[in-house]
């Protein structure tokens, strides 16, 4: 009896999985291409078969797994932190980029350039232990809400992409985030939100120091950049953390161009995916002229390179998970 | 019939696993402590239970998973490379540290100091693509033999440690290497030798560049240090690559001190293991006065810190795998 139940359960699980992958995706070229690719690389009889250990898939985060408008969510986090810390820093009222942040003048913040951005990062992301930073990020992601949608930021993840991550993992893929965003900013919530554990998160990083403070060992985040995991930095981050070339990569902006180029120029079956933001109603519509998530070269070269473009408005039944 | 066979197989696998873990370990305090720890953290009824996602175990490589005498194997590799490349570099005959390497004068090499070592690394580990380096390492590890044992270097791994890696993995642990050795030097053979995939290897690293050469994307190793994954660098490497604190760490030298300190000072059940090289006959005997794998502070502080010391001569039935 028990064994029959077991068999029933196993059969059900297999059929359940096979029945309809990617339910939030409309039937489209990208959906068929994804499913066709996964079938080929997992079929031992196929000449495109790829052993499990080499089934590496990398995903950009901002604009690929969650939204990134009207500005990168990590920048909103930094602004919220500056506001929270301002009472302890009266001098910020007269000091850029903090003065602009406190006045809500984003253009003023941007005008402070790279130096200003590093000042912001130093004040909000460094000079504390990784455990302190982890706690701050967890508090923010569990309380702060997006102005337009009223959702928690971690609820502004794309349901079709959650299904894609699950589908790939169910087929033996190891899924990684490879993002220009901060590695320690994503780790505290990536496992619960995406099913991606901390050791599979690659991102921009600050240098760190190990020290023993009054007998207690701590790792301190320093105000010094270690890796900018964007553009040419993405293949470098991939090599540093993963140590092999992915066979599947997904992105949405020209910051992902080199990751897709690196992924799809290897031998054997390869898959490149670009999420094109075309849905001004349910999400946002932007590409070549956007300051956030600019997508220009990718759109031009995708056809020749065999990369698949997802038209968000046309290809996705839903954008965010139901609440 | 088939289901009966399945049940038989499953039962056998479970019993087979439970029967005798760590067969190459003599009954000893360390063996009992390891098994007791694994039982506690995997028993859902225990207050020391640790969920699978947090079962992170880190292992030093040189002197902990494979031998490191009479000098680090990676240094032997570098010397072999210098000799192989010498015909293309006639100038090396009059140029340190190359002249000393070519004369077999290791003391002369050492006398060239940190600058000399960087010259050696630049000549043997940099200025090539990761794929070229991978190929060179694979050729070396599949042909070069140790002078004393006549074995391939990858056959000078410790059988009891291979069993420990397997035992931990069979109990839901994710096993990582965290070594002062080069990350790209270990990755080509770590998976086959230890069952540890490239993405679970942490080591010292050089900076890298991504570029497109005549239409082909490559990642090039630069002659510039990125991370020295030793001493205080080990917890930093762990945080960078793994993003959470291990609950189990094993090392053999004072270069592992901070990794063990960081691992065992976290909350909840923790395990620190030190391999003490005491077997001059079957391997080597060295500790406080050794230039390679010096172990001094670790020996002094292990008892108070609750770290377990393996006496290689007394605790291990065999050293290397049978050939």
Average pLDDT estimate for B79-102: 96
Query: Could you tell me the pLDDT band of residue B109, with boundaries at 50, 70 and 90?
Result: confident
Q: Please tell me the distance from the alpha carbon of residue B174 to that of residue B181, in angstroms, as a whole number.
A: 20
Specify the pLDDT at position A15: 43
State whether B7 and A7 contact (CB < 8 Å).
no
Q: Please tell me the distance from the alpha carbon of residue A272 to that of residue A259, in angstroms, as a whole number.
A: 9
What is the chain A residue with the closest CA to B176? Answer: A199
Average pLDDT estimate for B178-198: 98
Q: What is the pLDDT of residues A104-118, one digit of tens each?
A: 998 888 888 888 888
DSSP conformational letter for B161: H
- Indicate if the pLDDT at residue B117 is higher than 90: no
Q: What is the dihedral of CA B54, B59, B65, B70, to 10 degrees?
A: 180
pTM for the model stands at 0.93
Q: What is the dihedral of CA B76, B81, B86, B92, to 10 degrees?
A: -60
Specify the pLDDT at position B204: 96
State percent of chain B over pLDDT 70. 94
Phi, psi of B294 (to 5 degrees): -60, 130
Chain A residues touching B179 at Cβ < 8 A: none
- Span(s) in chain B for CATH 3.40.50.1000: 24-38+45-70+148-315
Specify the pLDDT at position B1: 40
A interface mutation test: which of B190, B201, B213, B217 has the most A CBs within 10 A? Answer: B217
CATH 2.130.10.10 fits B24-38+45-70+148-315, yes or no: no
CA dist list (Å): B243 to A164, A197, B180, B280 = 24, 9, 18, 38
Q: What is the pLDDT of residues A10-63, one digit of tens each?
A: 444 444 445 689 999 999 999 999 999 999 999 999 999 999 999 999 999 999
- Tell me the average pLDDT of chain A: 94
Q: Please tell me the distance from the alpha carbon of residue A235 to that of residue A259, in angstroms, as a whole number.
A: 5
Burial B173-194 (b: 16+ CB within 10 A, else e): bbbbbbbbbbbbbbbbbbbebb
Tokens of B134: 């991978």
ipTM over 0.90: yes
State whether B232 and A211 contact (CB < 8 Å).
yes
State whether B219 and A239 contact (CB < 8 Å).
yes
Q: Please tell me the distance from the alpha carbon of residue A271 to that of residue A308, in angstroms, as a whole number.
A: 8
State whether B199 and A232 contact (CB < 8 Å).
no
Q: Please tell me the distance from the alpha carbon of residue B264 to that of residue B248, in angstroms, as a whole number.
A: 8
What is the chain B residue with the closest CA to A208? Answer: B236
State whether B53 and A197 contact (CB < 8 Å).
yes
Tokens of A68: 């990134």
From chain A residues 225-264, the ones with a CB under 8 A of any chain B CB are 226, 232-236, 239-244, 258, 261-262
Specify the pLDDT at position A78: 96
Chain A residues touching B233 at Cβ < 8 A: 210
- Indicate if the pLDDT at residue B64 is higher than 50: yes
Average pLDDT estimate for B250-276: 98
What is the chain B residue with the closest CA to A262? Answer: B217
B216-227/B201-213 β-pairing: antiparallel
From chain A residues 150-179, the ones with a CB under 8 A of any chain B CB are 174
Specify the pLDDT at position B2: 46
From chain B residues 189-208, the ones with a CB under 8 A of any chain A CB are 191, 197-201, 205, 208
Average pLDDT estimate for A79-86: 97
* Of the options 3.40.190.10, 3.40.50.1000, 1.20.120.1200, 3.40.30.10, the CATH number for the domain spanning A29-35+48-70+153-315: 3.40.50.1000
**For residues B212 and A265, is the Cβ–Cβ distance under 8 A?**
no
Specify the pLDDT at position B111: 86
Chain B residues touching A242 at Cβ < 8 A: 198-199
Phi, psi of B228 (to 5 degrees): -95, 105
The single residue listed with the structure tokens 């080499």 is A54
State whether B199 and A130 contact (CB < 8 Å).
no
**For residues B203 and B228, is the Cβ–Cβ distance under 8 A?**
no
Q: What is the pLDDT of residues B142-172, one digit of tens each?
A: 999 999 999 999 999 999 999 999 999 999 9
Q: What is the pLDDT of residues B274-309, one digit of tens each?
A: 999 999 999 999 999 998 999 999 999 999 999 999
- Indicate if the pLDDT at residue A2 is higher than 60: no
Query: Is A278 in CB contact (< 8 Å) with chain B?
Result: no
- Span(s) in chain A for CATH 3.40.50.1000: 29-35+48-70+153-315
- Indicate if the pLDDT at residue B110 is higher than 50: yes
B interface mutation test: which of A134, A190, A217, A221 has the most B CBs within 10 A? Answer: A217
């Amino acid at each position: 009896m028990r064994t029959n139940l077991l068999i029933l359960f196993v059969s059900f699980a297999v059929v359940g999985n096979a029945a309809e992958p990617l339910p939030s995706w409309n039937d489209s070229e990208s959906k068929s291409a994804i499913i066709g690719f996964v079938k080929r690389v997992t079929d031992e009889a196929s000449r495109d078969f790829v052993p499990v250990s080499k089934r590496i898939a990398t995903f950009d985060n901002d604009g690929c797994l969650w939204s990134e408008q009207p500005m990168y969510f990590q920048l909103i986090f930094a602004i919220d932190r500056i506001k929270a810390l301002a009472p302890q820093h009266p001098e910020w009222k007269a000091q850029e980029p903090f003065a602009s942040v406190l006045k809500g003048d984003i253009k003023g913040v941007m005008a402070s350039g790279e130096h200003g951005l590093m000042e912001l990062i130093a004040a909000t992301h460094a000079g504390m232990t990784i455990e302190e930073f982890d706690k701050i990020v967890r508090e923010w992601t569990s309380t702060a809400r997006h102005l337009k949608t009223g959702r928690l930021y971690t609820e502004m993840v794309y349901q079709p992409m959650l299904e894609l991550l699950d589908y790939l993992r169910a087929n033996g893929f190891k899924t990684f985030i490879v993002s220009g965003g901060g590695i320690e900013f994503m780790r505290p919530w990536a496992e619960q939100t995406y099913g991606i554990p901390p050791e599979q998160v690659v991102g921009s990083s600050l240098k760190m120091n190990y020290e023993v403070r009054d007998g207690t060992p701590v790792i301190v985040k320093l105000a010094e950049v270690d890796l900018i995991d964007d553009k040419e930095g993405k293949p470098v981050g991939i090599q540093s953390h993963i140590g092999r070339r992915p066979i599947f990569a997904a992105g949405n902006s020209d910051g992902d161009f080199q990751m897709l180029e690196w992924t799809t120029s290897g031998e054997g079956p390869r898959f490149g995916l670009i999420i094109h933001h075309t849905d001004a109603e349910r999400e946002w519509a932007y590409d070549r002229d956007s300051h956030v998530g600019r997508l220009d070269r990718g759109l031009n070269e995708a056809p020749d390179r065999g990369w698949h473009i997802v038209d968000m408005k046309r290809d996705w039944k839903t954008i965010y998970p139901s609440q």
